[in-house]
C-alpha cells in the first residue's frame, strides 16, 4: 500500500513542479490575493477527479483511440501557445499584477476562469489523466496511488 501511495505522491509532485497553465493561474491568484483559497481548493478537487478518472479507466480509453490522442495533443499545443502568449503580453507590460491597477473580479468569475484553465486545457488530460492515471492503473493498490497523487496536489 505505501509503495503505491509514494509512487502517486512522487510522480504527481514531479509533474506539479513544472509550472503549467493551472499552476500559473493559482499562483497569479495568490499574488493578487483574489479568492486564492477557493481557487486552490477547486484545483485540488479537479486534480483528484482527473487522476481518479485516469486511474480507474479513462486513461485506457484515450490511449486506445488515435483520434482522441491527436485531439488531446494538438489541443494542448494550441492552448499552451494561447496561454503562453497571454503570459508574454503580461510580462511585457510590467505592473499588471499590482494591486492598485488590477480590477477586482467576483468569486464566480475567478472560479469559472479556474475551471476553464483546468478543463479546457487538453494538456491536463495528457498529464493528469493519461500519464498519472495510466501509471496508477498499473499499481498494486490504485486507490493508495490516487490518495498519494491527491496529497501531492494539495
Residue 127, pLDDT score? 80
- Give pLDDT tens digits for 85-126: 877 887 787 665 555 555 688 899 999 999 998 888 877 877
Give the residue-averaged pLDDT of 116-141.
83
Counting the structural domains of the chain, the total is 1
In angstroms, how far is CA 45 from the centroid of its own chain? 10
Residue 107, pLDDT score? 92
pLDDT value at 144 more than 80: yes
Residue 74, pLDDT score? 81
Residue 95, pLDDT score? 61
Give the residue-averaged pLDDT of 9-37.
85
Residue 98, pLDDT score? 56
What is the rounded CA–CA span in Å between residue 86 and residue 103? 17
Give the structural domain span for 95. 2-153
Report the number of secondary-structure helices (H) and strands (E) in the chain: 9, 0
Question: Is the pTM for the entire model greater than 0.75?
Answer: no
Average pLDDT, the chain: 82
**Dihedral angle over CA of 39, 45, 50, 54, nearest 10:** 150
What is the rounded CA–CA span in Å between residue 61 and residue 38? 31
Amino acid at each position: 500500500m505505501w509503495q503505491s501511495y509514494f509512487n502517486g505522491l512522487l510522480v504527481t509532485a514531479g509533474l506539479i513542479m513544472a509550472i503549467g497553465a493551472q499552476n500559473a493561474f493559482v499562483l497569479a491568484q495568490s499574488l493578487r490575493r483574489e479568492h486564492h483559497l477557493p481557487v486552490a481548493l477547486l484545483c485540488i478537487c479537479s486534480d483528484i477527479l482527473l487522476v481518479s478518472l485516469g486511474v480507474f479507466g479513462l486513461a485506457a480509453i484515450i490511449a486506445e483511440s488515435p483520434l482522441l490522442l491527436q485531439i488531446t495533443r494538438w489541443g494542448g499545443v494550441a492552448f499552451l501557445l494561447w496561454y503562453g502568449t497571454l503570459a508574454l503580453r503580461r510580462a511585457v507590460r510590467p505592473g499588471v499584477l499590482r494591486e492598485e491597477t488590477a480590477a477586482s473580479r467576483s468569486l464566480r468569475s475567478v472560479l469559472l476562469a479556474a475551471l476553464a484553465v483546468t478543463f479546457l486545457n487538453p494538456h491536463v488530460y495528457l498529464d493528469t489523466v493519461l500519464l498519472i492515471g495510466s501509471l496508477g492503473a498499473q499499481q498494486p493498490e490504485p486507490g493508495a496511488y490516487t490518495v498519494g497523487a491527491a496529497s501531492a496536489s494539495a
